[in-house]
Every structure is written in C-alpha cells, then in structure tokens.
C-alpha cells in the first residue's frame, strides 16, 4: 500500500485561473477607459506676405447618366455610349486641369455598367476628385 500518494492529493493548492481572469478584465477596463491626451505645443511664427492670392473655386464638371444609359457632360449629350467617346468628351471638358472635380450623377434606374464605364473613363484620364451625387431619403 502506498499512503504517500494520498497525502500529496490533499495538499492545499491555489487556483490562479480566476485571479488571472480578474486581472485581465481590469487590464481591458483600464485600456478602454484611459484617455490619451497628447499635449504638444509647437510655436511657429509664420512669415508674412504683402498680397493675398485669391483662389477661385473651380466649377465642377457634371457627368450625368440618364435611365437609358446616355451620358451628358455639363448638359451636353455625348454622341454615343462607347467608352472612347465618353473619354474624349470628358478629356475635352477637363482641358489641361486634371485636378478639376467631377461629379457623377446617375439615375437610380441606370444600368451598373454605365456607371462603371463613366468611372473607368475618369480614372483613365487621371481625375483625382470624383464624387458620386446622391439624394437623401426621407423616412
């Protein structure tokens, strides 16, 4: 008979699982509730200029797609709905300024392909400011 094995089973043990859980939850609580306030001040004295350059806002180009998939640039209809025709018409409207904003207004019932074609033509021309116009829903 081996009595020593029974004595080892009755030794008191401290279960750390619940303690680890509590510490972990406290750590998460403090991480979530802590505010990180960065107070950095850098005083910069800006140079002064005698004249002020006035920037005039550029008129955006309106690219409208109707329900039938026809394209209109600033109210003028594009001859056909082919990719290259739209790209040439948009290039003509943009001129040399590729930074000019383009607003895409598509009818709600327009085929998805027409919208993708318009976005692709603008991307090929290097348009950097393309917006899609929407209307607010009233609930």
Supply the pLDDT for residue 112. Answer: 87
Q: Quick check: is 26 in a domain?
A: no
The pLDDT tens digits of the residues spanning 80-115 come to: 888 888 999 999 998 888 888 898 888 888 888 988
CATH number at residue 99: 3.30.420.270
Q: Quick check: is 115 in a domain?
A: yes
This prediction's pTM = 0.56
Q: Quick check: is 14 in a domain?
A: no
Task: Compare 44 and 135 and report the one with higher pLDDT.
Answer: 135
What is the separation of C-alpha 124 from the centre of its chain, rounded to a whole number of angstroms? Answer: 20
Does residue 110 contact residue 104 with C-beta atoms inside 8 Å? no
Q: Quick check: is 7 in a domain?
A: no
pLDDT at 53 over 60: no
Start-to-end C-alpha separation, the chain: 82
Q: Quick check: is 17 in a domain?
A: no
Domain range for 73: 61-132
Q: Quick check: is 53 in a domain?
A: no
Q: Quick check: is 75 in a domain?
A: yes
Task: Compare 67 and 26 and report the one with higher pLDDT.
Answer: 26
Q: Is the dihedral of CA 114, 116, 122, 127 positive or negative?
A: positive
78-106 exposure pattern, b = at least 16 Cβ within 10 A, e = fewer? beebeeeebbebbeebbeeeeebebebbb
HEC assignment per residue over 36-67 = CCCCCCCCCCCCCCCCCCCCCCCCCEEEEECC
Angle formed by the axes of helices 112-124 and 83-94, to 10°? 50
Supply the pLDDT for residue 49. Answer: 62
The pLDDT tens digits of the residues spanning 15-43 come to: 888 889 999 999 998 888 877 666 555 56
Task: State mean pLDDT over 116-135.
Answer: 87
Q: Quick check: is 108 in a domain?
A: yes
Supply the pLDDT for residue 24. Answer: 93
pLDDT at 133 over 80: yes
| Counted domains in the chain | 1
């Amino acid at each position: 008979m081996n009595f020593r094995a029974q004595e080892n089973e009755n030794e008191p043990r401290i279960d750390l699982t619940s303690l680890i859980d509590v510490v972990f939850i406290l750590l998460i609580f403090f991480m979530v509730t802590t505010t990180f306030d960065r107070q950095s001040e850098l005083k910069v004295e800006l140079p002064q200029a005698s004249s002020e350059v006035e920037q005039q806002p550029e008129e955006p180009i309106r690219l409208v797609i109707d329900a039938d998939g026809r394209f209109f640039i600033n109210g003028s209809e594009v001859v056909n709905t082919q990719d290259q025709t739209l790209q040439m018409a948009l290039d003509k409207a943009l001129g040399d300024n590729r930074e000019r904003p383009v607003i895409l207004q598509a009818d709600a019932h327009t085929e998805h392909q027409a919208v993708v074609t318009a976005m692709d033509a603008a991307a090929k021309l290097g348009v950097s400011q393309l917006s899609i116009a929407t209307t607010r829903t009233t609930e």
